[in-house]
């Protein structure tokens, strides 16, 4: 990784983590306001099995991999 790439990556991570971890924006969301968030369709990955199928397809067709998970197995397809 070049020095400029490393700087950009660190800046993005710092900004994102501070934004995500800050308590100011979301304190208004009380437990009784979480009806929508409790729905299955509000997961970041609503259908893990179909997501795994997709990861397998793209792993076999492209040079990149990585995302939400650390599980799953290798494949001789790439």
Partner 1 sequence: MQLTAASHPSALRARLGAAACLLLASGMPGAARADAGAGNQLDATTLLYAERNRTNVVEPAARLTHTFADGQSLSAQFEYDVITGASPSGGSPSGTPQTTTSASGTVKTVSAGQVPLKDFKDSRYAADLEWQKPFLRSFLSTLGGHFSREKDYQSAGLNGKLSIDLMQRLTTLTLGGGVNRDRVFPVGGIPAGLSDGTAPPGPAARSKDVTTAMVGLSRVVTRRWLVGLNATRTLERGYLTEPYKILSLLDGTTGLITGQRTEDRPERRDRTSLLGSSVYHLTDDVLYLSYRWYRDDWRIRSHTIDARYRHELGNDDYLEPHLRLYSQTAAEFYRFSLVDGTPLPRYASADYRIGALQSVTVGATYGFRVPGHPGEWTVRAEYIGQFGKGHPADAIGVQRDFDLFPQTDTGSLVVGYSIGF
Contact between 16 and partner 1 by CB under 8 A: the answer reads yes
What's the gap between Cα 66 and its chain centre? 9
Within 13 Å, how many C-alpha atoms sit on residue 19's CB side?
Answer: 6
How far is the C-alpha of 9 from the C-alpha of 19, rounded, in Å? 15
Minimum distance, C-beta of residue 18 to partner 1, in the bound complex (Å) = 11
Between residues 7 and 69, which has the closer beta carbon with respect to partner 1? 69
Q: Is 24 in the site for partner 1 (CB under 8 A)?
A: no
> Can residue 26 be called a binding residue for partner 1 (CB under 8 A)?
yes
- Count how many Cα atoms sit within 13 Å of the Cα of residue 5 in the half-sphere of its side chain: 2
Site residues (vs partner 1, CB under 8 A): 1, 5, 9, 12-13, 16-17, 19-21, 23, 25-34, 36-47, 49-50, 52-53, 56-58, 61-78
């Amino acid at each position: 990784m070049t020095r400029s790439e490393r700087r950009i990556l660190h800046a993005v991570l710092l900004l994102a983590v501070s934004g995500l971890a800050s308590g100011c924006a979301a304190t208004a969301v009380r437990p009784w306001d979480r009806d929508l968030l409790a729905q299955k369709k509000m997961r970041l990955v609503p259908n893990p099995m179909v997501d795994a199928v997709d990861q397998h397809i793209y792993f076999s067709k492209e040079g990149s991999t990585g995302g939400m998970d650390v599980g799953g197995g290798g494949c001789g397809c790439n």
